[in-house]
Amino acid sequence: MKALIFKRFGEPEVLHIADVPDPAPQPDALIVRTRAIGLNYADIYRRRGSYHLEGEPPYILGYEGAGIVEDAPEGSGFQPGDRVAFADVPFANAELVSVPAERAIPLPEGTDFDTAAALLLQGMTAHYLVHDSFRVKEGDEVLVHAAAGGVGQLLVQLCKLRGARVLGLTSSEKKRQAALSAGADEVLLYGEENWPDRALKWSRGGAGLDAAYDSVGATLLDSFAAVKKLGTVVFFGMAGGDPPFIDPRMLMDTSKTLTGGDLWNHVTTREDRIARAGDLFRWVAEGRLRLTPPHRFPLQEGAEAHRWLESRASTGKILLIP
């Protein structure tokens, strides 16, 4: 089979297409022929050598995708020809992927491969953030960092579905428009002078927002400045660099809360995985959740796809197509 591989850590040019052995059948895993593969920023971190990476060189990136079952063990609940999606499955940047049966998610009729691969990982991330990390309720005021990104746009929409008033943050006017199109009530630019003060003025009575979802990291102190006393900052990414250290005395003095977020601490069973994915697929089918059309790159152009993602020019999901 063909796979996108690399033998050393580095910039996108280390990536290239190559023939590698097909995955071996396993008693508890499906063999899935991929039709669309999701590209995530974690793939960049792994390519650079700064995130855990499974296997030995030549490495194969990718943890998310959708396709057709080619082989299924007896008793798995699946059979050849079934349409499935998956997340948290390594070596996905390939034509064939070994997918543990417990991590395979059946695709409902009407959900295409591109939608599933574009939605699953980022959508489940947004899902746990608004339902678990900080449970958004009617009337809450919420700040969403990187509101034009893949997770950001979904997070804006899920907060709105729960009745919140949403303030977005983006890095350019083009991205500001994308966040507004996703449903944000207002969007500020990171480059604007003292955006935390502007966020305070935007909030009701100038008291601050109920919560901030911070995927940037380096902005953590600004997020605390923008939330009210008793407010919550959810830290779930470091796209802008390492976060500063937080003085717990500040948390005590303001009664503010800092909580972390990692998807796989919340999605721990097959039933929960399927339930959350089912919510997302249903909301898309009902038109309550909209996806920006993904950027599609052939798998052999994976290096260019990585450059595009690193450029921060993208406002939606990037897919690799075998």
pLDDT tens digits, one per residue of 65-103: 999 999 999 999 999 999 999 999 999 999 999 999 999
pLDDT band at 207 (very low <50, low <70, confident <90, very high): very high
Annotate 93-130 with DSSP letters as a single string.
SBSEEEEEGGGEEEPPTT--HHHHHHHHHHHHHHHHII
What are the sequence ranges of the domains in the chain? 2-120+267-321, 138-260
Q: What is the mean pLDDT of residues 183-198?
A: 95
Residue 239 confidence (pLDDT):
82
Residue 9 above 80 pLDDT? yes
255 DSSP assignment:
T
pLDDT tens digits, one per residue of 233-268: 999 998 888 899 999 999 999 999 999 999 999 999
Q: How far is CA 281 from CA 64, 99, 107, 220, 312, in A?
A: 16, 20, 8, 32, 27
Encoding tokens for residue 252? 């005590």
Residue 54 confidence (pLDDT):
83
Encoding tokens for residue 171? 């890095």
Stretch (H or E) spanning 156: helix 150-161
pLDDT band at 41 (very low <50, low <70, confident <90, very high): confident
Class of domain 2-120+267-321: alpha beta
Percentage of residues of the chain with pLDDT beyond 70:
99
CATH superfamily of 138-260: NAD(P)-binding Rossmann-like Domain (3.40.50.720)
The domains spanning 2-120+267-321 and 138-260 adopt the same CATH topology: no
Regarding predicted confidence, which is higher, 188 or 313?
A: 188
Cis peptide before 58 (omega within 30 of 0): yes
pLDDT tens digits, one per residue of 151-163: 999 999 999 999 9
Cα(294)–Cα(309) distance, integer angstroms: 12
